[in-house]
Amino acid sequence: MVIYQTSTVTVEIEEKTKVMTQKWNGYSSSQVFREAIDKSLDAVKKHGVKAILNDTLEQAVVKPEDSQYAASVMPKLFMSGLKAMAIVLPKSVFTQMSIKKFQEETKGANVKPFSSTADASEWIASNL
C-alpha cells in the first residue's frame, strides 16, 4: 500500500509483514523530504510498522538541516513500535556523508547500513 509518492520518493507498506519501504530518487526539496518523514511516522503509528527499509541508492544529497530533522524523528519512530531500520547506502559520496551524519545523530537506535536491498531485507527479516 503506497502511503506517499512524489517524483523523488515513494513510501509504501507491506501490510502482511509490517515493513515500510522508503525509496528515494534524486533530490527532494525540504518540503517533500520532511513530508515523507512525517507521513512515515504517522504510518508507523497507524499501521503498526515494525521495520523500515530506507533505500537511498539513487538519492541525491540531503541538506544538513533535513538530515537533522529526520534524526529528530527517530526516537518517536522507535517509541511507536519500530524495531529496526535498514539503510541501503547511496551511490553518491556526498549523500553517503549525509547518511553517515544521520547515523551519528541516531546512535543507540537499531539502524544499520547496507550496500544492497537484498542484504537490507534479509537483516530486517531477522529483526522482526
Looking at residue 120, which CATH number applies to its domain?
3.30.750.24
Give the residue, 102 or 13, on which the prediction is more confident.
13
CA atoms within 13 A on the CB side of 92: 17
In this structure, are residues 9 and 23 in contact, taking their beta carbons and an 8 Å threshold? yes
C-alpha cell at 79: 517509541
In this structure, are residues 50 and 19 in contact, taking their beta carbons and an 8 Å threshold? yes
Number of domains present in the structure of the chain = 1
Q: What 3-state DSSP class applies to 11?
A: strand
Q: Residue 91 sits in which domain range? A: 2-126
Question: Per-residue confidence at 101, pLDDT binned at 50, 70, 90?
Answer: low
Q: What is the mean pLDDT of residues 57-68?
A: 90
For residue 125, the tally of other CB atoms under 10 A from its CB is: 12
User: What is the rounded CA–CA span in Å between residue 88 and residue 114?
Assistant: 5
Strand (E) or helix (H) holding 4 = strand 2-5
Weakest-pLDDT range from 28-32, 53-57, 73-77: 73-77
User: What is the rounded CA–CA span in Å between residue 99 and residue 105?
Assistant: 10
Q: What mean pLDDT, rounded, does the chain reach?
A: 90
| CA distance readout (Å), 61 to 30, 45, 87, 126 | 11, 28, 15, 30
Q: Is the pLDDT of residue 107 over 80?
A: no
User: What is the rounded CA–CA span in Å between residue 84 and residue 126?
Assistant: 10
Q: What is the mean pLDDT of residues 94-98?
A: 65
Give the residue among 110, 124, 117 at the shortest CA–CA distance from 23. Answer: 117
